[in-house]
Amino acid sequence: MSHFLGIDVGTSGTKALVVDDEGVVVGSGTGHHEPEVPRGGWSQQDAEDWWPSTTAAIASACRDAGIGPEAIDAIGLTGQMHGLVALDQEMRPIRPAILWNDGRCEPQCHEVEARFGIERLVELTGNRMLAGFTAPKLLWMREHEPEAYARVATVLLPKDWIRFKLSGVVAMDVSDASGTAVFDCRNRTWSDDLLAALELPRSWWPPAAESPEVVAKVSSEAAAETGLRVGVPIVAGAGDQAASAVGTGLVDEGTIGAALGTSGVTFAPTGSWRATPDGTLHAFCHAVPGRWHLMGVMLSGAGSLDWFRHAVTPDLADDTDAFEKIEALADQAPAGAADLLFLPYLSGERTPHPDANARGAFIGLDRRHERAHLARAVFEGVTHGLADCLDLVRGTGVEAGIVRLSGGGMKSRLWKQTCADLFRTPVVTTTTTEGTAFGAAILAAVGAGRFEDVPTACTSWIHETERLEPGPDADILAARHEVHAKLYPALRNLFPAIAGSASTEGSTS
């Protein structure tokens, strides 16, 4: 039996999965690493820490599977997107990697958008210049660390550094490259025009392959450290969002994903190139060759419930069943929360309103309202935000035939039904519980020849487990959504004054 290894280099650790020839996860392992926060709004990591974290995860996953690492037949890589791994001519990291959630380059983003205009940037790349992305981090280095910047010879993303450690090969994939802000996503290649205009040498950026393409093999040095066989193929892999989409079967246009983790993500595969003129939705290359995806990212998804747990229900703050109890509390209130609305902008917002000054709010409070109504309003407010993102997707011409749910939020029956009601479409859950690393393993299986292509692999290995249709509360929530949609425009000009000195300038996801 073949075994495929999926490796996910996350922000707080590396996860590895061993998947057998039938798509069953037979082993799981983790390795630990932590981000550094040297200043408010900054987030960075020593890239060298990712290698021992990865070797530990591989060893743990293989032990859990009851096999030796030499039994692995192909490797897929994924990981946190956008992180800047700047390397010198000897392929040594020059400085700690600047991560996706680091906002220090917000001024450089504003300068680039003012210089080119958002429409021109979207024309060149499909996207705005956001502080989470990779290229503006280099512009920050050029301004603030000129000596370090002068040593840059190669730019990699986090998972691609691990590929280099495994193989000695420098490569990237189109889905992860899409989040650098200098990749022409429509044509699936680097934007030479933008790189030249920003004076970022084209030679720094590795070839960007399609995600299931074999681009490297395990080296003798890495084999000695990990126990993997020399020559095991390594596919190009994907950024974490595209890999997670593969891992939950989001590969065909019309099947849309909604993920409720700390943030909230709406992911829509497309069979042809689409972008929003103002860059409100990310428009990236998919991990499926010849396909793209639109993505909306809310900064506070389940994070809003975590805030509610500590701020409004402190009696549940340390309760291991806190979220189940908050859901039960919310279930005591009617749909629409007795006319109470919640804006989930606790960390500013990215989609549908790219505004670091936006702030959360309960609107419509009166003497009827108790904790149950507040809890219900939070569940609904986050889902209103996801529905906003879905409305933007529909505005590009993509129809939502079905929405697949993932993330920790899919454990909540209330949230799932609220999604079906507000999205006005059936929602489903799938057999996948380890979407990101599982998606990387699927890409490895395709690269190794187990399947003809990614959609075939997903059809074979991923199955629907539950389906919910819009229910009797759908009309109530639709009416409330019309009111919700008017709240941000009404408050937009007040948010800078409301945010005051606590502005979250540069907040990204």
Provide the CATH number for the domain around residue 349. 3.30.420.40
The predicted pLDDT at position 302 comes to 86
Do residues 327 and 406 both lie within one domain?
Answer: no
What is the distance between the alpha carbons of residues 323 and 59, in angstroms, rounded to a whole number?
A: 33
The predicted pLDDT at position 293 comes to 98
Do residues 256 and 171 both lie within one domain?
Answer: no
Do residues 270 and 328 both lie within one domain?
Answer: no
User: How many CB atoms are located within 10 Å of the residue 462 CB?
Assistant: 22
Kindly state whether residue 429 falls inside one of the protein's structural domains. Answer: yes
Do residues 141 and 276 both lie within one domain?
Answer: no
The predicted pLDDT at position 505 comes to 39
The predicted pLDDT at position 83 comes to 96
Do residues 233 and 259 both lie within one domain?
Answer: no
Question: Where a domain ends, among 193, 220, 242?
Answer: 242
Question: Where a domain ends, among 172, 207, 242?
Answer: 242
Kindly state whether residue 99 falls inside one of the protein's structural domains. Answer: yes
The predicted pLDDT at position 506 comes to 38
The number of folded domains in the chain is 3
Do residues 95 and 50 both lie within one domain?
Answer: yes
Nearest alpha-carbon partner for 399 in 274, 298, 265: 274
What is the distance between the alpha carbons of residues 508 and 436, in angstroms, rounded to a whole number?
A: 20
Kindly state whether residue 393 falls inside one of the protein's structural domains. Answer: no
The predicted pLDDT at position 301 comes to 87
Residues of the chain where predicted confidence (pLDDT) is lower than 50: 501-509
The predicted pLDDT at position 364 comes to 97
Kindly state whether residue 509 falls inside one of the protein's structural domains. Answer: no
The predicted pLDDT at position 32 comes to 94
Residue 36 exposure: Cα atoms within 13 Å on the Cβ side = 10
Do residues 163 and 271 both lie within one domain?
Answer: no
The predicted pLDDT at position 317 comes to 77
User: Which pairs from 91-94 meet CB under 8 Å and 24+ separation?
Assistant: 91/153, 91/154, 91/164, 91/170, 93/46, 93/47, 93/48, 93/161, 94/148, 94/151, 94/152
The predicted pLDDT at position 354 comes to 82
Q: What is the pLDDT of residues 456-477, one digit of tens each?
A: 999 999 999 999 999 999 999 9
Catalytic residue among 184, 240, 355, 421: 240
Active site residue 88: no
Kindly state whether residue 291 falls inside one of the protein's structural domains. Answer: yes
Residue 374 belongs to domain spanning: 302-388+472-502
Do residues 114 and 231 both lie within one domain?
Answer: yes
The predicted pLDDT at position 503 comes to 42
Question: For residue 295, is it left (φ>0), alpha (ψ between -120 and 50) or beta?
Answer: beta
Do residues 288 and 344 both lie within one domain?
Answer: no
Classify burial at 88, counting beta carbons within 10 Å of its beta carbon; exposed 0-12, middle 13-18, buried 19 or more. middle
What's at 369, amino acid-wise? H
Do residues 307 and 413 both lie within one domain?
Answer: no
Do residues 429 and 490 both lie within one domain?
Answer: no
What is the distance between the alpha carbons of residues 101 and 20, in angstroms, rounded to a whole number?
A: 34
Kindly state whether residue 135 falls inside one of the protein's structural domains. Answer: yes
Do residues 147 and 96 both lie within one domain?
Answer: yes
